[in-house]
Amino acid sequence: DTAVSQTPKYLVTQMGNDKSIKCEQNLGHDTMYWYKQDSKKFLKIMFSYNNKELIINETVPNRFSPKSPDKAHLNLHINSLELGDSAVYFCASSQASRFYGYTFGSGTRLTVV
C-alpha cells in the first residue's frame, strides 16, 4: 500500500541516452512534485503540477520534461543525459487545500556513466 511509488529505484545509463522515471500516488492528493537531491544531500525543487497543470518550473535544463497524464501520476523524462544529471530524484505529493507537508517517494538513484 505504498503512498507515493517511483520506478525504477535505480537507473544506470550512458551519457547521451534518454530515460524516464515514473511516479504514482494513491493518496488522492492534487499536487505532485519532482525534487533533485545532489551528492551533498541538497534538495532542490524542479517541477510541480496541480491537477495536471504545471505550476512550478524552476531553472532546469529543457532536457528535463515532466508529464502529468492525471493528478495521480507525474513522470519525468530526461533527454541526452549528462554526467551532472547523476543524483537521486524524489517524487512527492501534497493536498494544496490542507497543506501539512509533502509525502515523498523512496527516490530514484540515477547514475550516468
Partner 1 sequence: GEDVEQSLFLSVREGDSSVINCTYTDSSSTYLYWYKQEPGAGLQLLTYIFSNMDMKQDQRLTVLLNKKDKHLSLRIADTQTGDSAIYFCAVTATGTASKLTFGTGTRLQVTL
- Establish if 1 lies at the interface with partner 1 (CB under 8 A): no
Contact 112, 85 (CB under 8 A): yes
Segment interacting with partner 1, rule: CB under 8 A, options 19-27, 64-72, 76-84, 92-100 = 92-100
Contacts of 48 (CB under 8 A, 6+ apart): 31, 32, 33, 34, 54, 55, 56
- Establish if 43 lies at the interface with partner 1 (CB under 8 A): yes
Instruction: Find the Cα–Cα–Cα–Cα dihedral 6, 12, 18, 20, rounded to 10°.
Output: 0
Contact pick of 25, 68, 75, 94 for partner 1 (by CB under 8 A): 94
- Establish if 7 lies at the interface with partner 1 (CB under 8 A): no
Residues that bind partner 1 in the complex, under the rule CB under 8 A: 4, 31, 35, 40-45, 48, 50, 55-56, 90, 92, 94, 96, 99-107
